[in-house]
């Protein structure tokens, strides 16, 4: 799924999928924010493939406990689900609850058995690590999944530059990665990072429904990314 850049419309309501079709390559279904997420999946008949995310509370979401893996395991059995998001901290067993690792790795195995890609994700809601640490995080995440996702918080322009450099470096090394900065100083990375190799962008259909700080609305990000990438191709 991630051979080329994928723009994902993030939503907790799959009935919004028709509004995303014109701009989105995928829909990130935020199961942790959704009402009756498995019922929504069972009734989904949209055209856009889904990325299933059931974000843990310890990494910025609203899902608690290991039961969230059961929901994700059910989700990957749906034909419309093309990818599943699993936190790197769980896959690596570095979360305080050691039982997370066995659940996370079992989910990854289940996903791969049915041909569903794995997004191994890392989120830092406080800062942006040093450039060398960013490269290591992206490479580690890419090694655990089919694509490694890193979202950090930018407090200054230098943070945005560090994330873009790390994206370029890890992509050049052969890793499939997605990277972006949360927060206003790094907001532009959501549009610029694809030029440096980032494989996934996330945006709400409406600005009021943003699922992370600094997200552009879907149509805006589609236009920005396409304009920047068209310019790169024209060269």
Q: Average pLDDT of the chain? A: 94
At 178-210, the pLDDT tens digits run 999 999 999 999 999 999 999 999 999 988 888
pTM of the prediction? 0.94
- Say how far apart CA 141 and CA 147 lie, in whole Å: 7
pLDDT for res 235: 47
Residue among 78, 95, 103, 123 flagged as catalytic: 123
**pLDDT band for position 171 (cuts 50, 70, 90):** very high
pLDDT for res 231: 67
pLDDT at 20 over 50: yes
Task: Tell me what the mean pLDDT of segment 104-129 comes to.
Answer: 97
Question: Is 168 tagged catalytic?
Answer: no
Residue of 25, 43, 21 lying closest to 34 (CA atoms): 43
Contact 33, 211 (CB under 8 A): yes
pLDDT for res 88: 97
Three-state DSSP state, 70: helix
At 55-110, the pLDDT tens digits run 999 999 999 989 999 999 999 999 999 999 999 999 999 877 888 999 999 999 99
Segments in the chain forming alpha helices (H): 17-20, 37-42, 67-75, 88-91, 99-113, 131-144, 157-172, 189-192, 218-234
* Partners of 147 in beta bridges: 119
Residue among 78, 95, 103, 149 flagged as catalytic: 149
Task: Tell me what the mean pLDDT of segment 141-149 comes to.
Answer: 98
Question: Is 123 tagged catalytic?
Answer: yes
Three-state DSSP state, 149: strand
Site of tokens 């907001």: 187
Segment among 101-105, 113-117, 134-138, 203-207 with least mean pLDDT? 203-207
User: Would you state the structure tokens that stand for residue 1, as one six-digit string?
Assistant: 């799924």
Task: Tell me what the mean pLDDT of segment 151-170 comes to.
Answer: 97
Contact 224, 5 (CB under 8 A): no
Q: In which region does residue 36 sit, left (phi positive, over 0), alpha (psi from -120 to 50) or beta (all else)?
A: left
pLDDT for res 232: 59
CATH number corresponding to 6-234: 3.20.20.70
Contact 128, 106 (CB under 8 A): no
pLDDT at 118 over 60: yes
Domain spans, the chain: 6-234
- Say how far apart CA 189 and CA 160 lie, in whole Å: 6
Q: Radius of gyration over alpha carbons of the chain, in Å?
A: 16
pLDDT for res 210: 80
Site of tokens 């299933």: 52
Contact 149, 115 (CB under 8 A): no
Contact 35, 69 (CB under 8 A): no
- Say how far apart CA 111 and CA 115 lie, in whole Å: 6
């Amino acid at each position: 799924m991630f051979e080329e850049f994928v723009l994902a419309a993030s939503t907790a309501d799959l009935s919004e999928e028709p509004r995303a079709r014109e701009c989105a390559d995928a829909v990130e279904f935020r199961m942790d924010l959704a009402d009756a997420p498995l019922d929504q999946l069972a009734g989904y008949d949209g055209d856009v493939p889904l990325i299933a995310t059931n974000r843990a509370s310890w990494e910025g979401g609203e899902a608690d406990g290991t039961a969230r893996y059961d929901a994700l395991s059910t989700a990957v059995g749906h034909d419309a689900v093309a990818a599943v998001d699993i936190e790197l901290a769980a896959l690596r067993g570095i979360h305080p609850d050691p039982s997370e690792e066995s659940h996370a790795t079992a989910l990854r195995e289940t996903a791969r058995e049915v041909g569903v890609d794995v997004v191994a994700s890392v989120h830092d809601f406080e800062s942006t690590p040093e450039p060398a640490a960013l490269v290591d995080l992206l490479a580690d995440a890419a090694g655990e999944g089919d694509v490694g996702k890193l979202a950090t918080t930018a407090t200054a322009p230098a943070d945005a530059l560090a994330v873009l450099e790390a994206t370029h470096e890890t992509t050049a090394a052969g890793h499939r990665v997605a990277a972006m900065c949360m927060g206003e100083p790094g907001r532009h990375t959501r549009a610029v990072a694809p030029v440096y190799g980032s494989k996934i962008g996330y945006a709400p259909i409406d600005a009021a429904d943003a699922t992370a700080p600094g997200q552009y609305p879907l149509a805006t990000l589609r236009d920005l990314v396409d304009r920047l990438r068209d310019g790169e191709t024209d060269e």
